[in-house]
Amino acid sequence: MPNHDPDIAVSAREVVRTFQIGENRIEVLKGVTLDVRHGETLFLVGPSGAGKTSLLYTLAGLEKPNSGEVLINGQSLYRLGRGEQARVRNASMGYVFQSFFLLPELTALENVMVPALIRGRQAKARARELLERVGLGGRTGHLPSELSGGEQQRVAIARSLMNDPAILFADEPTGNLDTATGSAVMTLLMELVNERKRTLVVVTHDQSLARVGDRKVTLVDGRIVD
């Protein structure tokens, strides 16, 4: 493998992703190559079906590419065994999804603690601190069903930061929110990332949101066009 550039946090090399639907093989990513620098905020934009979410999930260790390579800090992610991949994801990456994916039977505090519990740590004080930071210090004992959409997404952001990951991946984090709430959530996410100089990769269909990042990359039909 060539020498790794220490400034690069996430790297995709000729990534191809296909899906089989009946007799048809659909090529969703067509040899995508992309570098994301440490501390960079990168927005992936493009029309529906362009491959944005597939690229995000592949970069984030959630969907293995059919061919090509993904490097996290110079380490080839999909060459690792499953257990080691899971360890890298838990230690180095945080995730924010459009649908929040909070566990309905857990309180806000317990949901935020989940990534730490996976590592065998309690870290209740840190979870409380993160909920304070996202403006939900008074809602720690509430279940997801007792929170608004914007509050649920704030819980999800706090959860994504629980293990202090170097890289955050966000898939349409404002997609289920009204414009004002979405804007507030995006502002909060950017503040938290910039405070700690973390890397952030965001999929969004909202071009106005994408303007707040360091760089915008457009996907069309499974290829980067700019």
- Report the pLDDT averaged over residues 156-185: 92
Amino acid at 105: E
Indicate the domain borders of the chain: 8-224
pLDDT digits (tens, 9 = 90+) for 39-68: 999 999 999 889 999 999 999 999 999 999
Q: Which fold has domain 8-224?
A: Rossmann fold (3.40.50)
The pLDDT tens digits for 94-143 are: 999 989 999 999 999 999 999 888 777 778 999 999 999 999 999 999 99
**pLDDT tens-digit readout, 181-207:** 888 888 999 999 999 899 999 999 888
Average pLDDT over residues 74-97: 92
Q: Residue 139 in contact with residue 147, Cβ under 8 Å?
A: yes
For residue 3, the model assigns a pLDDT of 59
Task: Give the whole-angstrom CA distance, residue 84 versus residue 71.
Answer: 14
Whole-angstrom distance, CA of residue 127 vs CA of residue 84: 25
Whole-structure pTM value = 0.92
